[in-house]
């Protein structure tokens, strides 16, 4: 079952979660992780790191 058609059928809206790849697709991390960013913290670093792959770097 596809999410968007199902939501449409049920009259529900859909909100994208982190549409810019947690900031990665903005180009913020092109030269590494800024020390003052949430991605540099132990708590949030893993949330961003999954997007810091070669494919993401090519897109940005």
pLDDT at 18: 80
pLDDT at 40: 86
What predicted TM-score, i.e. pTM, was given to this entire model? Answer: 0.52
Q: What is the tens place of the pLDDT at every residue in 8-60?
A: 999 999 998 887 888 888 888 888 888 888 888 888 878 788 888 888 778 77
Pull the structure tokens for residue 59: 């897109």
pLDDT at 24: 84
Given a cut of 70, whether residue 1 has pLDDT beyond it is: no
| Beta-carbon count within 10 A of 16 CB | 6
Tell me the C-alpha distance between 29 and 39, whole Å: 9
Ordered by start, the domain boundaries in the chain are 19-59
Tell me the C-alpha distance between 41 and 60, whole Å: 23
Tell me the C-alpha distance between 21 and 35, whole Å: 19
pLDDT at 25: 84
10, 33 contact by CB (below 8 A): no
């Amino acid at each position: 079952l596809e999410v968007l058609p199902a939501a449409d059928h049920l009259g529900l809206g859909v909100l994208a979660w982190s549409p810019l790849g947690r900031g990665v697709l903005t180009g913020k991390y092109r030269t590494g992780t800024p020390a003052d960013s949430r991605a540099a913290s132990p708590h949030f670093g893993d949330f961003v790191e999954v997007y810091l792959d070669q494919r993401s770097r090519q897109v940005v």
